[in-house]
Amino acid sequence: MFAFANRICAVALGTLLATGVASPAFGWGQTGHRVTGAIAQQYLSPLSQAAMMELLPNSSLAQASTHADEMRSDPSEFWQKTAGPWHYVSVPEGKTYVEVGAPDEGDAVTALEQFTNTLKDPSATTDEKRLALQFIVHIIGDLHQPLHAGNGTDRGGNDVKVRFFWQDSNLHRVWDSQMLEQRGLSYTEWTAQLTRSITPQDIRSWASTDVLEWIKESTEIRDTIYPDNANNMSYDYLYNNLPTAQKRIQMAGIRIAMYLNKVFEEANQ
């Protein structure tokens, strides 16, 4: 089932883990990921809807969006080691992803390519395609969280200790979930609120399926969100940054749909 994944260099990954360079924490919390999936489902083409119903019967893209994080508790080598680097990319400040490229163990870009090929492969099994769909939804969401395009020095902001609303935290966790949690809304409430504000012009301007463009956007945002005062992050930081997080979630939802529409159309040509 996971034969394609085994081509990722396990030796290099083992070295990475042994040296203590762990992967960033979850990209967007469950709420953020589910909102991206729920938004995306509203913009699927009929072809994509049919494929989703076949691969995810009695489920939804919102549920699929968190599968890759939920399975991190699985003790298998695939989930504990192989799949770890597939949630993020590392792009040092002043560089582009093209200049840096993927590490030997792979990253979100290489995984997205592999899973895209799986969805298009007529010989792939239903289980392989289901996993591919779940990962694609998740990876696109991750790449729109600015700290999942990390600078390679602080584990995507995990090492940046902060006080957020007078509680100890780190910058990555603030962006994954804590800014959204401050509003006290469920993922369905967030979905309704964010969907209402998406305009036809937004859809036209966001409908990029170019992963390099998504990463460039995230790195540009990433370099502006490090706090001036890490010990006093509260209402001012929320005011200045929550709108950006909301927009990135909206963009991810639209782009998940556009990406899947393109993939399933190409798979049926």
Return mean pLDDT, the chain.
Answer: 91
C-alpha 184/C-alpha 165 separation (Å) is: 14
Global pTM reads: 0.89
What per-residue confidence (pLDDT) applies to 26?
A: 61
Domains of the chain: 5-12+30-150+163-267 (1.10.575.10)
Q: Look at residue 9 and tell me whether its pLDDT is greater than 60.
A: no
C-alpha 153/C-alpha 91 separation (Å) is: 10
81-105 confidence digits (pLDDT tens): 999 999 999 999 999 999 999 999 9
Q: What is the average per-residue pLDDT within 40-66?
A: 96
137-192 confidence digits (pLDDT tens): 999 999 999 999 999 999 999 999 999 999 999 999 999 999 999 999 999 999 99
116-135 confidence digits (pLDDT tens): 999 999 999 999 999 999 99
In whole angstroms, what separates CA 58 from the centre of its chain? 23
In whole angstroms, what separates CA 259 from the centre of its chain? 13
Q: Which residues are CB-contacts of 45 (< 8 A; sequence separation ≥ 6)? A: 261, 264, 265
